[in-house]
A = this chain, B = another copy of it.
Amino acid sequence: MLDWARRLDAGDPLGAWRERFQIPDPDLAYLDGNSLGMPPKRTLERVQTVIRDEWAGGLIRSWEDWLDLPQRVGDRLAPLIGAGAGEVTVHDSTTVNLYQLVVAAVRLRPDRSVIAIESKDFPTDRYVVDGIARARGLTVQEGFDDLGGVAVAVRSMIDYRSAEIVDLAAETARARRAGALVVWDLSHAAGLHPVGLHAAGAELAVGCTYKFLNGGPGAPGFSYVAGSLIEQLDQPIQGWFAQVDQFAMGSAFAPRPDIGRTLIGTPGIIGLAAAEEGIALTAEAGIDAIRAKSIALGRFALDWCDRLGLDTSTPRDDHRRGGHVCVHHPNARAVTARLATEHGVLADFREPDVIRLGCSPLTTRYGDVARALAAVDSMR
């Protein structure tokens, strides 16, 4: 297995991109880039520039340039998820952004009173939905089988445990026929999969930049709103960064007519600049090449799970599988801990029995996956 992996690494067209990252310990098999991506080397330089030249040097004057940074970084991210210029902003946290867009979506369906979500979806998404439903007297429906009467469906494009991919276009179309809006959570898709928001007819989405986009710990999230919907968007947190002619400081809130109306308060510039570097690097490498390697890494992992007899529920179909492979193990928590302490393999444990092996195409080697599977195999 290790030999085979070595040959695949040697022939990997994206193999050289790993050198663009700061990797102090090359012997570590890091299979958690889907929780926290590695730092691009350029990120440290960029942050130094922001602090020394822009903050220290320009002081308040630098706000002229920073003011629309959330939109500029959004425009760099947009093609990576199949969105257009002026449809994406990078700002705040994924949780806050999800809250904003779900409330806005509910307001677009005033005659309906149901929000649909799956109980297996990522916790913060469910908590946010439950909070909105409670505040507004709405009902939370489990799952998406029947969307009749549903105002808003909140869905992850790629499942954070199984890595299963939802068919964005088909499910968006089905929701539209039923009169429901979908708010897509792209946290496990952005930077890994071309997504194709426009092509799918998707109207609203959020996601994070600290996973496959390598934006840094707690890097800002993003908001996507289809151009045709922006002017109808009525968000609950009315902040001054969404205000038309912000520095006129008018007494009445008048939201901007463009994607800037998704913004809230003053954006954190250092974190946003760091996120831009991860996004820019991803764009340079090319999202299609990244997706191709992601598929190949997954296929390699699944092949070896089968040969070793490891139990996985990750989809076999390349087009339905995201960027990680989950291995079920009765002692998954302990095994994940021992992978780190005894085998130099960093993976993720997810309740109840999942060892999650995240493959981040710009930094993950086939050899990392092979080492992880061999180590899991040795602990049975």
Measured CB to CB, the residues of A under 8 A from B are 21-25, 28, 30, 32, 35-36, 38-39, 43-44, 47-48, 50-52, 54-57, 59-63, 66, 92-96, 99, 119, 122-124, 126-128, 130-132, 135, 208, 210, 216-221, 236-241, 243, 248-253, 264-272, 274, 340, 346, 348, 350-351
Contact = CB atoms under 8 A, between A and B. Distances in A.
B128 A239 contact: yes
A218 B271 CA distance: 9
B270 A216 contact: yes
A95 to B, nearest CB: 3
Contacts of A123: 240, 243, 249-251
Contacts of A249: 122-123, 350-351
A266 B240 CA distance: 22
B251 A126 contact: yes
Given A44-B52, A55-B217, A128 B270 contact: no
Nearest to A28: B59
Contacts of A274: 51, 270
25 contacts: A22-B52, A24-B52, A24-B57, A36-B55, A36-B63, A38-B59, A55-B216, A55-B217, A66-B217, A92-B93, A93-B239, A93-B265, A95-B265, A99-B236, A123-B240, A124-B239, A130-B252, A130-B253, A131-B237, A210-B266, A217-B266, A218-B266, A218-B269, A268-B268, A271-B271
Contacts of A272: 218
A23 B52 CA distance: 9
B124 A23 contact: no
A60 B345 CA distance: 12
A57 to B, nearest CB: 5
Contacts of A22: 51-52, 56
A238 B268 contact: no
Contact of A218 (B268, B346, B351): B268
